[in-house]
Amino acid sequence: MKKLLLLFVVLSLIACNAPKDTYPDPIIGSYAYGADCSWISEQEADGVLFYDSLGVAKDGMHVMRDAGMNAVRFRVWVNHSTGWSNKEDVIRNARRADSLKLRVMIDFHYSDFFADPSRQNIPVAWADYDLEQMKQAVANHTTDLLSALKAEGVSPEWIQVGNETRSGMLWPMGRFQGENGEIEGGWSRYAQLTTAGYNACKAVFPNAQVIVHIDNAYLDNNWFYRNLLQYGGKFDMIGLSHYPMMKQWSGKDWQEMNQLAAQNIVNLHNEFQCPVMVVEIGTYANDSNSVDVITDFRQRVDTMEYMKGIFYWEPQVYNGWRPQEYIPLGWGSYHMGAFTTEGQPNDALKQLWKR
């Protein structure tokens, strides 16, 4: 309760001081210099402060806006135990972003916790649903959140239907690939669930770009989108994650990771003739190569007209902060934040957002 009261005070001060007329109106369809900063309201409730280039404490979104960010991404959980990234938190953050004239991406995880290649857990409230009920739950959850945003006057430019769904979502129902290979009927169920989300997005925001997102941009990913279309799935844009410094995952150095990711973006566009976006990127915060990593990747993709933007994942994490849900799991702090120990955007983040 104390954290929520503190957050209310912080947000009230932000609302009173937000520079609503400082920034130009967003240009829909232009390049997105973005970030996923879904943790920001929880950080503020924990007393984390952010500072501008002069060392003055300011709202974290404002600090990132001034550093070059023009778009922001927020994840949505169905019913997370801490309340963060649930409906009310997302709406508050989206209103703040809109007041700074930031373009908004909504990222539906369709889970009560992180959905990624290692987990795509069905929300507890949906545990006993059959396929038809699950499709309706996806549609209802999507419609509810988006309708609430619309009522607040916030129109997301992009909406993700699922997060890093390389093996499907809402496991085991929507899983198409397991440890022993392809799961019978999985592709059909996954495509139906994705389509339920897609159609719900378009019913509320017909002009939004609906994204289907998978991890590992350095891999050949055409097969995934080819199969999704074959089974009746829909998407307007391809979304990829790219963590080029994670050599322990790929066995490759960051230069090769960047080169492969850039070539795969070309291959995806050539086959599917749709725009592509890197909706997550990250580098090690204290690595001396981090600026070179970002510079190299941007040089490889900036000339591609169909490459529509890059979002850094949770750049505002610094000085060992970790979210509440990490503590009982024994997880440490996120180590790819892109703020300095003084609470300011670091050089790699500035390079990502450099015009």
Any idea what the CATH number is for the domain that residue 88 is in?
3.20.20.80
Q: Domain for residue 24, yes or no?
A: no
325 domain-assigned: yes
Report if residue 27 sits inside a domain: no
pLDDT of residue 2: 44
Residue 84 CB-density burial (10 A; 0-12 exposed, 13-18 middle, 19+ buried): buried
- Report, as ranges of residue numbers, the positions in the chain whose pLDDT lies below 70: 1-21
Cα separation, 342 vs 135, whole angstroms: 46
Range of the domain at 229: 2-14+34-352
The backbone torsions φ and ψ at residue 47, rounded to the nearest 5 degrees and listed phi first, read 90, 10
Length of the chain: 355
Question: How many domains does the structure of the chain reveal?
Answer: 1
CB contact set of 230 (below 8 Å; sequence gap of 6+): 187
The residue assigned the tokens 């592509």 is 276
23 assigned to some structural domain: no
- What is the model's pLDDT at position 287? 86
Q: What is the CA radius of gyration of the chain?
A: 19
Q: What is the pLDDT of residue 18?
A: 45
Q: At what angle do helices 186-204 and 222-230 cross, to 10 degrees?
A: 80
74-124 pLDDT per residue, tens: 999 999 999 999 999 999 999 999 999 999 999 999 999 999 999 999 999
Instruction: Write the single-letter amino acid at 67.
Output: A
In a domain, 209, yes or no: yes
Strand ranges, E, within 215-303: 237-242, 276-281
Please check whether residue 182 lies inside any domain of the structure. Answer: yes
Burial per residue of 240-279, b for 16 or more beta-carbon CB atoms within 10 angstroms, e otherwise: bbbbbbbeeebeeebeebbbbbbebbeebbeebebbbbbb
Q: What is the pTM of this model?
A: 0.94
Would you say residue 22 lies in a domain?
A: no
Q: Estimate the crossing angle of helix 186-204 against helix 131-151, to 10 degrees.
A: 20
In three-state secondary structure terms, 349 is helix
Q: Answer whether residue 26 is part of any domain.
A: no
Q: What's the pLDDT score for residue 1?
A: 43
Read off φ and ψ for residue 307, nearest 5 degrees: -85, 115
